[in-house]
Structure 1
């Protein structure tokens, strides 16, 4: 099926998913795939994604773990409608709620979830320049503080439920500072492009009511070798399994 003008149809998970998304503006890359792969979900559980965009993270998770109850919240109606279409096209049940996470509808506020996942905007708008495309700017430029993302997640999690986030490494102090006292057992997994390079992204896991000590894991390396030396990707086998075959991300024990 060909997308309409201004949209592209892109393969994820080695073709297991076909995703329609804007040709210009915010386009999903590997970040939501890595986020989905890090979620410790099991069949029969419920998952809420805050800021789901076109639905890539939730749909990747749905491919890997059958029998989940998936719900996504998306502020921008255009992206929310694309997410609904992507879910239908891929035969995955995903309920999309068009809403601001700061003002969730009563129907969502009455529910709790085994997992909440999110890929919050990466950039503080006190710094840098806004993206010219409004959809991309909303996705990447922070308007809702990280503290509100964490607060909303904590409220929607069931007892012992898991929060999983992906965020830029430079935002880690703000991310940790925003952690709600209801969330414990915080673990940070840095994602390092190549050995010896500073990590640009981190994955965070926390548990509602968790009591274990904070853990900062050794970085997970994404690419082989110290530099890019050939055409095509050079992902290490475990990451290639995540991106091409929908495998779970190897979270440290």
Structure 2
């Protein structure tokens, strides 16, 4: 059922993503969808007919971009914040994707079974980057929920592992310096792990990692070529590869099994 979309209220912005293919309403202050959401969506390799879950979907930045990229897959987002959830519903309507994209309230800290959904083919997430409140204070109160994982990253990994069928994939973007923690958390039930580092510049250390794992997978770990976001010289803001990814003209590929 299509619901009317209210006028843009004060305090929100309406932005274009994926080369103008996605319109996104989001708060002017607080956490805003950006590069990480774009990279996560580009790395989503859902095949036609597959079902994809995004845990902590926020206002739907990655969810909607992935749905546009993969027009024959079905997407479900789970979000605990009521304001973000309402904006995600509005964004689904604005983009005309209500026939195969939906969102519902849910907590990663709660068992997946409480959602009453069958396991998915792929579950993806951009989890909060920190889980120790003593280690970092979020830059603004509005960003606290997106920056700090109340129940630790282990809760996110456990939720994602339960959310997919055997042989299903788990896809995560996270800080590069948390890669060891990420791999340890996923090792409880996943294998066939592939890693794509994301570097701000070709000669700079990676700041992010995209990690793809297969539930019950047994293949050896693979470290794939990096994604480099910015050139050191010239007038271009992004490398040709990054620009193509951001505009939806290219995807972030994974190695064949």
TM-score for both structures, normalised by structure 1 = 0.91
Determine the structure 1 residue equivalent to 2:39.
34
Determine the structure 2 residue equivalent to 1:120.
127
Determine the structure 2 residue equivalent to 1:195.
202
Q: Stretches of 4+ moved more than 3 A in 1? A: 104-107, 250-253
Q: CA separation in 1, counterparts of 2:205 and 2:240?
A: 21
Determine the structure 2 residue equivalent to 1:80.
85
Provide, for residues 183-231 of structure 1, a one-character-per-residue CA deviation record: whole Å limited to 9, x for no partner. 110111110111110100000000012110012224221222x35x54x
Q: CA separation in 2, counterparts of 1:246 and 1:26?
A: 26
Q: 1:246 to 1:97 in 2, by over 3 A?
A: farther
- After TM superposition, give the deviation of residue 110 of structure 1 in Å: 4.2
Unaligned 5+ segments in structure 2 are 1-5
Unaligned 5+ segments in structure 1 are none
Q: 1:123 to 1:49 in 2, by over 3 A?
A: same
Provide the secondary structure at the position in 2 that maps to 1:160. Answer: strand
Quick check: 94-103 or 238-247, which moved more? Answer: 238-247
Q: CA separation in 2, counterparts of 1:126 and 1:169?
A: 20
Q: CA separation in 2, counterparts of 1:108 and 1:149?
A: 15
Alignment length (residue pairs): 248
- After TM superposition, give the deviation of residue 64 of structure 1 in Å: 0.8
Determine the structure 1 residue equivalent to 2:16.
11
Provide, for residues 135-155 of structure 1, a one-character-per-residue CA deviation record: whole Å limited to 9, x for no partner. x11011221211111111111
Determine the structure 2 residue equivalent to 1:243.
246
Determine the structure 2 residue equivalent to 1:98.
105
Q: CA separation in 2, counterparts of 1:246 and 1:74?
A: 28
Determine the structure 2 residue equivalent to 1:21.
26
Provide, for residues 26-55 of structure 1, a one-character-per-residue CA deviation record: whole Å limited to 9, x for no partner. 111111111011111112110000000000
- After TM superposition, give the deviation of residue 109 of structure 1 in Å: 4.5
Q: CA separation in 1, counterparts of 2:192 and 2:173?
A: 16
